[in-house]
Amino acid sequence: MSVDSTVDLREITFLTAEGEPASLADYAGKVVLVVNVASKCGLAPQYEQLEELQRTYGDRGFTVLGFPCNQFMGQEPGSMEEIQEYCSMTWGVTFPILDKIRVNGSHAAPLYKALKKTKNPEGASGPVMWNFEKFVVTPEGRVHRFRPQTKPNDPAIVSVIEAALPA
């Protein structure tokens, strides 16, 4: 599914872990997997599969972007330094971990406000259900949404990534 065509996802800014402005335009031409992450979540082992995708496809025009979020039962309480250290030391994460955000509610990050308009494979759009909800954004701006329980290496996600990789 595509996000509302009046919104260009590439123009929506967010902050890096260092507080610098960034946007999907910085990843032009790449397939981007946007995921809200949480260190204390039972789904945190998905970091390993996210990193596996990064290592498999990173040199072919792909990147994971992890957005820490503390909205679901306070499962990402740490500082940015603590989150980055956890991701690096526990899971060997090399993909960008960006600034902590909100994904739902009136103070949701603008990128997530736009992404949540995308329907998942069951046809539902709307709020992010939990940590580790995934959005694959193709270089053309098409968005594919996957629920938290869908593992990053699920064939449905991998096929979308492989089909959208630059030639």
Which residue segments constitute the domains of the chain, with CATH numbers given? 9-164 (3.40.30.10)
C-alpha distance from residue 28 to each of 23, 128, 136, 156 (Å): 9, 25, 14, 23
Mean pLDDT of the 127-137 span: 97
Strands 143-146 and 134-137: antiparallel
Mean pLDDT of the 17-41 span: 96
At 7 the pLDDT is 62
> pLDDT band for position 45 (50/70/90)?
very high
Active site (catalytic) residues: 41
Structure confidence by residue, pLDDT tens digits, 87-118: 999 999 999 999 999 999 999 999 999 999 99
Whole-model pTM? 0.94
Structure confidence by residue, pLDDT tens digits, 143-163: 999 999 999 999 999 999 999
- Asked whether the beta carbons of 67 and 98 are under 8 A apart, the reply is yes
